[in-house]
Structure 1
Amino acid sequence: MNLLNRVFNYELPTEIVFGVDSIQHLPQIIGRLNGSRVLVISDPGVKDAGILNKVTVQLEDGVTFDTFWDIEREPDVKTIWKATAKAKEFGADLIIGVGGGSALDAAKAVAVMVENEGDISNYAGLNKVPNPSVPTICIPTTSGTGSEVTIWTVISDKENNRKFGIGGKTIAPTIALCDPTLTLSLPGSMTAATGIDALTHALESFVNKATQPISEALSRESMRLISKSLRKAVHQGDNLEARYDMLLASTIAATAFNPTRLGLAHALCMPLGAKFNVPHGIANAILLPQVMEFNLVGNPEKFKDIAEIFGEKTDGLSLHEAAALAVKAIKKLNQDVGIPTGFREFGVTEMDLGYIAEGAIGSDNVLVNPRKPSLADLKEIVRKSL
């Protein structure tokens, strides 16, 4: 498409505060938002690692607060209901989310439901939430989901084996407080999974049909940082520079895909997570090379760019040969950071291919993918990923 004939828009509703030890600015940020009764939402892992305490210790002078740290991986609608009930009973006028994507998504969902009636599933889709949420601060402790700046929250309905997204400016956090020191204790396996999740955000946004100059520039920088620092962050967990790069890459990638959506990897992740409990980052990492291979013909110029960002030499090669090196580079990255090789270990079999493909085909992420897939194409991508 000729960019001269195209109008695009870019908006980032969330303010970003980023830097080493920036958690110390939390009291001033709460003051700016006029927060007086704060509910902090997190998960057991963050609490047990002592990270939740690093946040709440900042609140002990002059702020009334309470905590809800029972958020599970892939937060369920029932958990959101419980946390919302606590927020309303407490009279929370500000929500803080501390953790990975699950805790941050839960915090965003609770902030919405404090100001809106009914069941959260009623608001599935884009721009369905009528009333603005209470002010929300999201503090990431992983470098992957980018939930601290996205206009989406993803909730599970485990009773019905489904996941759904709720999107719109009313979902976006008010402020993202990003302190790389809070990611230093993240285990290598989780660093790898969340890091490839961030890469998938940047890469799928970069090659899809909704891409635009601002998001492209953000995606490029995110991929550059991941290429430079993911291996170090996985294998040298105390390397603060690598942790800084990865948290920045994750946040930047999310600002890239906010206006563009993603692609087939994320479409397929939803049914894989809902029924088989495959962690989101792992699902993306396993799918990504196969999705890239399928998409190469849809945007070979961009895949050549990706190959070069990840250090592949493309001089003297045809466009297709150069583009194919992007797949090689990502497979090598997966191997180097210890990503599982397939979905069989999660109980997925050939019998499940139809369920997964049918669960993905209706995703809006399919609509912007650089190559239009059929159900058979989606089944084959998952089959190659078993």
Structure 2
Amino acid sequence: MATTSEVYTSNHRNFPMVPKVVFGRGSFNQVGEIISCERKGIAPFIYLIDSVFEKNITFIEDRIPLSSTDEIIYVSTAEEPKTSQVDEIVAKIKKDYQYTPSGIIGIGGGSILDLSKAVSIMLTNPGSASEYQGWDLVKNKAVFHVGVPTISGTGAEVSRTTVLTGPERKLGINSDFTPFDQVILDPELIKDVPKDQWFYTGMDCYIHCVESLHGTYLNAFSQSYGEKALDLCKEIFVSNSLSKEEADAKLMMASWHGGMSIAYSQVGVAHAMSYGLAYVLGTKHGIGNCIVFDKLGKYYPEGVAVFKKMKEIHGISLPVGVCADVTEDQLNIMTSVALSLEPLWENALGTDWKSKVNADTLKEIYRSL
């Protein structure tokens, strides 16, 4: 039997989880009812919505029960989310409203969900979002925030990280205050996602799982979520026998489970190197992961083999020559950004990872992309 001192000297992290989630086709129609108990007088709810829906407002906007003070802000996701973008949205909200909003509702893919989490944090914390890039730097609780994914795979709806490109690096705000207070998972919202984008974002989930399950941070908790997400990904992308409705619903569950898996472990080589690509070339996260992972057979042989099979089944051709014209200075920045993400490398290669990988190793991989 453990002694009292043994019980109280453990060093396990006590991570938060999303406290409320609703799942099902048409569940988005409940958004007004779900947030009503969080409304604080005339303080508005601010909806941050992917600007892709601005051309088809009936699909989203006409279903939102706005009060007199609520506002919809359409946000472009042409580029990866930036700390400056967060700061601009926060400044606009503070300028336009006398009161702190009742809450932030993010509707879109991983970029919008990350922006929404960051905005909700910065409404209650001073300074710039760039000052909070890192682990456990946030001091004040965020305003109430809701995530509504319209594409699945990133796991942003469940993770405690909001990934942002800052003036010096691409790094997440990783905090106990980051996770959404409420998530609405409505498979109907992802039914019209273009095939390539559906594949790239779904592969973000698949790669999460491979990196988590083959990492040194793996434990029974992350393993149970990662294995379920991986099985769902294989059912969706390898067997290819599901109806579109079935695949959409299961991809939402794969994304959720994949996000939970890395919350209690970490990602690895593909994500670290993808961050370097995004910082220098602006490569979107999902496709960036795919471009890098395709070349990582040395690190994840079985996972890469299955990935190549998935590409073939779905007729996906990845861009080539992505780094053909990059300069040596750009390569140096890419490798510096990638190697700065030490927890990812430790998860992938162990505590002695610096003896196994260096800038020259990464430059060789980048040049092959």
Residues 324-364 of structure 1: CA distance to partner in whole angstroms, max 9, x if unpaired? 44432211113333444355246554845443222211202
Q: Contact 2:81 / 2:165 at 8 angstroms: preserved in 1?
A: yes
Please name the residue that 2:357 is paired with.
Answer: 374
Alignment correspondent of 1:358: 336
The alpha-carbon deviation at position 206 of structure 1 amounts to 1.2
Shift of 1:127: 0.7
Instruction: Give the whole-Å Cα distance in 1 for the aligned partners of 2:367 and 2:304.
Output: 17
Q: 2-side partners of 1:56 and 1:172: how far apart?
A: 27
| Counterparts in 2 of 1:56 and 1:37: CA distance versus 1, 3 Å | farther
The RMSD of aligned alpha carbons is: 2.5
Aligned counterpart in structure 1 of residue 70 of structure 2, from 59, 65, 71: 65
Q: Report sequence identity in percent.
A: 25
Are 2:304 and 1:327 equivalent residues in the alignment?
yes
Cα gap change, 1:175/1:347 in structure 2, threshold over 3 Å: closer, same or farther?
farther
In the alignment, structure 2 segments of 5+ residues that lack a partner are 1-9
User: Given the superposition, is the C-alpha separation of residues 101 and 335 from structure 1 closer, same or farther in structure 2, using an over 3 Å criterion?
Assistant: same
Who is 1:48 aligned against? 55
CA gap of 1:139–1:241, structure 2 versus 1, over 3 A, is same
The answer to whether residue 17 in structure 2 is matched with residue 13 in structure 1 is: yes
Q: Aligned pair in 2 of structure 1 residues 370, 94: CA closer, same or farther (>3 Å)?
A: same
| SS of 1:290 mapped into structure 2 | coil
Take 1:70 and 1:367, find their aligned partners in 2: how far apart are those partners?
Answer: 35
User: What is the count of residue pairs matched by the alignment?
Assistant: 346
Q: CA contact under 8 A between 1:71 and 1:79: conserved in structure 2?
A: no
1:294 is matched with 298
Q: Please name the residue that 2:280 is paired with.
A: 275
AA aligned to 1:362 is S
**2: distance between equivalents of 1:56 and 1:369?**
45
Are residues 7 and 228 of structure 1, via their aligned partners in 2, closer, same or farther at CA, if it must alter by over 3 Å?
farther
Maintained 8 Å contact 1:71/1:106: no
Counterpart for residue 194 of structure 2? 187
Query: Taking structure 1 as the reference length, what is the TM-score of the superposition?
Result: 0.82
Moved more, 105-114 or 62-71: 62-71
In the alignment, what sits opposite 2:31?
26
TM-superposed CA distance for 1:295, in Å, is 2.3
2:247 corresponds to 1:242? yes
5+ long unaligned stretches in structure 1: 1-5, 297-323
Partner of 1:318: none
Deviations for 1:174-226, whole angstroms, at most 9, x for unmatched residues?
11111110000100010011011111112111111111111111111111111
Cα offset for 1:79?
2.0
Letter matched to residue 295 of structure 1: Y
Hey, what does 1:304 align to over in structure 2? none
SS in 2 for 1:295: coil
Query: Where is the helix percentage greater, Structure 1 or Structure 2?
Result: 1
Select which of 213, 219, 226 maps to 1:206: 213
Q: Which residue matches 1:300? A: none
TM-score, with structure 2 as normaliser? 0.85
Q: Within 1, Cα distance between the matches of 2:263 and 2:37?
A: 25
Q: Distance in 2 between matches of 1:335 and 1:349?
A: 29
Q: SS in structure 1 opposite 2:349?
A: coil
Amino acid at match of 1:357: T
Select between 17-26 and 249-258 the one with higher mean Cα deviation: 17-26
Distance, in Å, in 1 between the alignment partners of 2:319 and 2:214 is 24
Does structure 2 retain, via aligned residues, the 8 Å contact 1:23–1:55?
A: no
Amino acid at match of 2:104: I
Aligned mate of 1:115, from 124, 143, 147: 124
Counterpart residue identity of residue 13, structure 1: M
